[in-house]
Structure 1
Amino acid sequence: MLGPVTTGHPTRVRTHRRPRRRTLVILLALVAAAAVAGVAVVVVPMLRPAGPRPLFQMPVTCGETWQLSTYPGHDDYDVDFFPIEGESWGRPVLASYGGTVTVAGINGSLGGRTPENPEGPRGRGGGYWVKIDHGGTWETQYLHLLEPPLVEVGQKVAQGEQIGRLGSTGNSGAPHLHYEQRRGWDKVETHFDGAPSGITTDDREQILRRVSNNCPAVS
């Protein structure tokens, strides 16, 4: 005789999934909280009122005369530095004022322009670059450096300390230093040794000459 035949669905084994769901919810909440905290660390300081403008100096060697320039499409307040005399490649790039390095790396892509191959392919963006926080929401940026910066993120630097060497990485047509001063989120007119540079707009080409007073402190 045939044994008893059963029909219908097999018996389901109950599993308890609530703890997993609860754990997932907790993890998502922690991730969201961490993200909010991270944004706050970046955004809140930038929303504070700016402190007094630091006595910025030109980011090049004391006593040297350099060309400061801009051109249509360069963006307002951006300044390009070119030496008047001597070799451009590898010239020291100096901190305009004391502060803390917040970026030291690559912006965009490097390209292939080097002293050995000055007509090599352009890269994108700023190439090797450095950003320094000077306190009071003031920052400076230094772009198109020749090689990896000589400083690291978190490092304290003094005014006049070398942070890199002049090059042509990123979207650059010739060796030069692209330089910016920022207050909070905004770029502002660069000031050197307490005087405005005069470069405020990119609606026309401007070429100026200035002598650097980024000199060692007298003890």
Structure 2
Amino acid sequence: MRKLILILTTVFALTATAQENLYGFTVKDEYGKDVKLEEYRGKVLLIVNTATKCGFTPQYKELQAIYEKYKELGFEILDFPCNQFGAQAPGSIQDIHQFCTENYETTFPLFDKIEVNGDNESPLYTWLKNEQAFKDFGKGIKAKFMAGMLKKKDPGYADKSDIKWNFTKFLIDRHGKAIARFEPTQNMKEVAKAVAAALAE
């Protein structure tokens, strides 16, 4: 049975990485209903794995500001809560929805909780990580802290494309291609600038 699971996991991973663009994937929304990402064809997207009890959680405010500024130009943020990093996305998807709307007045689409690393990771994230590997955390105190924390757990962490923490962001262009990856430590102004550039193309 374990061998069969391993084979199926490998097949799903190979299928995901073989996708030419985002539009072949189907995900679950916050109500558990299937959503084909084909629905977002032609839009610029920012895909984010989020958490409600993280030091980076206030980024919800900046994400909402970017969304409000650019949504009329064909921009969407796809919010995927994930509890894999410090168990910082506890509770049900309904709890998460309530927290985000009450504390940060978010209006961008919320999807069901997923895993972004490991045997049960979402095929979407297998593809995203294959398209845009980890580079570094950038500069600054938070970047240095994150690098130090992860290096203690895994000296070779920087050589892996795995998602490192909450609020990692992938920018998708109007053709469904993953064109940039932003770590949670990177300045949100850089993210906004990249979104504007992708919309202008």
TM-score in terms of structure 2 length: 0.30
Whose radius of gyration is greater, 1 or 2?
A: 1
Q: Comparing both structures, which one devotes a greater share of its residues to helix?
A: 2
Q: Comparing both structures, which one devotes a greater share of its residues to strand?
A: 1
